[in-house]
């Protein structure tokens, strides 16, 4: 009986190890970083809130961005790790996810009719 329990335990350990390895390989966002920074961000006439986002190199950054503007606006990220324009409309937040790989300070702009600037600070 104890041999069966031991064999069953060994199989369970192997399954857990293989499952963990496959989870990293199959992840659509790439490998999971040791730290995930999930931030709720709002865009309005007064600018971005928070206006400054601080993360570390290697962090997975998840931004949930909500626009308080009645008409669509364009948010531009000027980071080498995530350089994109995000169109926002009033309503549910838009989620943006990336891994911060490059240290530095990178602007986030709102340029559609109203100018606002935020800052993404990535520390090594």
Q: Are 46 and 94 contained in the same domain?
A: yes
3-state SS, one letter per residue, for 34-62: CCEEEEEEEEECCEEECCEEEEECCCEEE
The upper half-sphere exposure of residue 62, i.e. CA atoms within 13 Å in the direction of its Cβ, equals 9
The total domain count for the chain is: 2
Q: Are 71 and 112 contained in the same domain?
A: yes
pLDDT tens for 26-82 read 333 445 456 999 999 999 888 899 999 999 999 999 999 999 988 888 888 888 888
Q: What is the CATH number of the domain that holds 100?
A: 2.60.40.420
Q: Are 13 and 54 contained in the same domain?
A: no
Q: Are 84 and 52 contained in the same domain?
A: yes
* Model pTM score: 0.68
Per-residue b/e over 79-117, b at no fewer than 16 CB within 10 Å? bebbeeebebeeeeebebebbbeeeeebebbbeeeeebe
**Contact between 58 and 32 (Cβ < 8 Å):** no
H or E element that contains 72: none
Q: Are 112 and 92 contained in the same domain?
A: yes
Which pLDDT band holds residue 1 (cuts at 50, 70, 90)?
Answer: low
DSSP state of 79: -
Which ranges of the chain does DSSP label H, i.e. alpha helix? 2-26
Q: Are 25 and 86 contained in the same domain?
A: no
Q: For residue 6, what are the domain limits?
A: 1-32
Give the per-residue pLDDT at 22.
32
Give the per-residue pLDDT at 122.
95
Give the per-residue pLDDT at 34.
66
Is pLDDT at 17 greater than 90 in this prediction?
A: no
Residue with tokens 């350990």: 13
């Amino acid at each position: 009986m104890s041999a069966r329990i031991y064999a069953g335990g060994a199989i369970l350990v192997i399954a857990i190890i293989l499952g963990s390895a496959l989870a990293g390989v199959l992840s659509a966002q790439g490998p999971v970083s040791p730290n995930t920074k999930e931030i709720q961000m709002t865009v309005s006439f007064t600018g971005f809130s928070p206006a400054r986002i601080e993360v570390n190199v290697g962090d997975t950054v998840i931004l949930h961005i909500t626009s308080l503007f009645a008409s669509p606006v364009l948010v531009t990220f000027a980071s080498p790790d995530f350089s994109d324009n995000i169109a926002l409309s009033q309503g549910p937040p838009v989620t943006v996810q990336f891994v911060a790989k490059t240290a530095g300070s990178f602007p986030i702009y709102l340029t559609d009719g109203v100018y606002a600037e935020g800052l993404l600070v990535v520390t090594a």
